[in-house]
């Protein structure tokens, strides 16, 4: 676990913050463009964890964008000022692995711009920024962090359009997924999308319906990554009274999804608690700590399906 101290805070609007943190030891781990950290604090006596993508690259400070929604972000907005301590774990995630030498189309909705800023910095370092296109969707221009840097990349050849839904501009109005056809008329770029789930789902559907290659579509998720590959053994899983054949190699939540069953989920990173369920029988391995559970909940047999890998046959119930 890293101990971080807030070094600066900038309010871009009444609900959007840019925060930077330093390590208490002076040494931050190396992160790659597109990665995220899990931040933790205690709110009302409960440990709460949330994932935030890093928006900068190669620095002595780690920068995140925070939109005021959800318990953790509201806490940051209220309490996180310079000198505030906070814990974090990471870096995590592999969104940046989608970058190749090929042209990229980046679509950023709101604070989804965060990992894309670090990816663009990497593209600029590699001299590839002139092959890329960036589409930003937000409410007001003031909500675009590092606008000067983005415009400097535009001077270097980055194609840029900013769609403002609550302010008159060249691209006024909500970004529409139907624009995907006109956006991708040349050779198919790699498309990297980050933003609200609804926006990513809508654009993914439009991308596939337009006949674009599924392997060129990449979206950011805070999905738990397994540290080790296991030879796959099949086993039986009973979930909500339904039986399906599972395995001991993949994350339980993915297996429930693949079986066509429904378990609520949101962060898929162990921090929101949406996928909490009760282990009635069997054993699972925690692929990463169950951040959203208290010790008492874990002792009572609760697990987070997005972080659990089955070890034996299982009987589980949604919370
Ligand atoms: S989906 Fe958020 S904790 Fe599992």
Question: Does 306 sit in the ligand 1 pocket, CB within 6 Å?
Answer: yes
If asked whether residues 215 and 106 sit together in one domain, one would say yes
If asked whether residues 154 and 175 sit together in one domain, one would say yes
Atom of ligand 1 nearest to the CA of 275: 4
Q: What is the full per-residue pLDDT of the chain (319 aa) written as tens digits?
A: 899 999 999 999 888 999 999 998 878 999 999 999 988 888 887 777 788 999 998 788 999 999 988 788 899 999 999 999 999 988 888 888 888 899 999 999 988 999 999 999 999 999 999 999 999 998 889 989 999 999 999 999 999 989 888 877 776 666 777 777 776 666 788 999 998 877 888 888 888 888 888 899 998 877 666 666 667 899 999 999 999 999 999 999 989 988 989 888 777 778 778 899 999 999 999 987 787 888 899 999 999 999 999 999 999 999 8
Question: Does 275 sit in the ligand 1 pocket, CB within 6 Å?
Answer: yes
In a domain, 155, yes or no: yes
Enclosing domain of residue 240: 234-318
Write down the pLDDT at residue 197: 76
Question: Does 99 sit in the ligand 1 pocket, CB within 6 Å?
Answer: no
In a domain, 69, yes or no: yes
Q: Which residues of 157-180 are buried (b: 16+ CB within 10 A; e: fewer)?
A: ebeeebbbeeeeeeeeeebebebb
Last residue of a domain, one of 184, 219, 254: 219
Question: Does 270 sit in the ligand 1 pocket, CB within 6 Å?
Answer: yes
C-alpha of residue 292 to centroid of ligand 1, in Å: 8
Last residue of a domain, one of 155, 190, 219: 219
**C-alpha dist (Å) from residue 262 to 236, 239, 256, 259, 275:** 17, 9, 7, 9, 10
C-alpha of residue 29 to centroid of ligand 1, in Å: 25
Residue 68 backbone class (left: φ over 0; alpha: ψ -120 to 50; beta: rest): beta
Number of Cβ within 10 Å of residue 197's Cβ equals 11
In a domain, 182, yes or no: yes
For residue 168, give the CATH number of its domain: 3.40.50.80
Atom of ligand 1 nearest to the CA of 306: 4
Q: What angle do CA 125, 129, 134 make, to 5 degrees?
A: 130
C-alpha of residue 124 to centroid of ligand 1, in Å: 34
Mutation choice for ligand 1 from 225, 252, 274, 286, CB with most ligand atoms inside 8 A? 274
If asked whether residues 83 and 102 sit together in one domain, one would say no
If asked whether residues 208 and 107 sit together in one domain, one would say yes
Question: Does 195 sit in the ligand 1 pocket, CB within 6 Å?
Answer: no
As for how many domains the chain has, the answer is 3
**What is the C-alpha to C-alpha distance for residues 132 and 291, in angstroms, rounded to an integer?**
37
Last residue of a domain, one of 191, 219, 247: 219
Q: What angle do CA 35, 36, 38 make, to 5 degrees?
A: 155
CB of 217 closer than 8 Å to CB of 208: yes
**What is the C-alpha to C-alpha distance for residues 311 and 129, in angstroms, rounded to an integer?**
45
In a domain, 224, yes or no: no
C-alpha of residue 275 to centroid of ligand 1, in Å: 5
CB of 140 closer than 8 Å to CB of 103: no
């Amino acid at each position: 676990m890293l101990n971080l101290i807030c070094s600066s805070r900038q309010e871009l609007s009444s609900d959007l913050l840019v925060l930077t943190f330093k390590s208490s030891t002076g040494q931050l781990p190396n992160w790659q463009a597109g990665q995220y950290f899990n931040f933790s604090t205690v709110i009302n006596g409960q440990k709460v964890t949330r994932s935030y993508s890093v928006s900068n690259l190669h620095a002595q400070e780690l920068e995140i964008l925070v939109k005021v929604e959800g318990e953790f972000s509201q806490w940051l907005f209220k309490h996180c000022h310079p000198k505030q301590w906070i814990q974090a774990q990471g870096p995590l995630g592999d969104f940046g692995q989608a970058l190749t030498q090929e042209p990229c189309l980046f679509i950023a909705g709101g604070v989804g711009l965060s990992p894309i800023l670090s990816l663009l910095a990497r593209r600029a370092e590699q001299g590839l920024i002139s092959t890329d296109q960036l589409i930003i969707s937000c409410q007001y221009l003031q909500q675009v962090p590092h606008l000067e840097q983005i415009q400097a990349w535009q001077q270097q050849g980055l194609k840029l359009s900013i769609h403002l839904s609550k302010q008159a501009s060249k691209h006024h109005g909500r970004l529409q997924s139907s624009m995907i056809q006109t956006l991708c008329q040349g050779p198919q770029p790699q498309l990297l999308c980050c933003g609200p789930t609804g926006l990513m789902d809508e654009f993914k559907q439009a991308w596939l319906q337009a006949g674009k290659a599924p392997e060129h579509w990449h979206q950011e998720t805070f999905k738990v990554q397994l540290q080790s590959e296991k030879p796959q053994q099949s086993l039986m899983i009973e979930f909500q009274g339904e039986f399906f054949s599972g395995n001991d190699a993949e994350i339980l939540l993915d297996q429930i999804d693949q079986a066509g069953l429904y378990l609520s989920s949101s962060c898929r990173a162990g921090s929101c608690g949406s996928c909490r369920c009760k282990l009635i029988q069997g054993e699972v391995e925690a692929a990463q700590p169950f951040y959203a559970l208290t010790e008492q909940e874990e002792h009572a047999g609760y697990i987070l399906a997005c972080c659990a890998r089955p070890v034996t046959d299982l009987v589980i119930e949604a919370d």
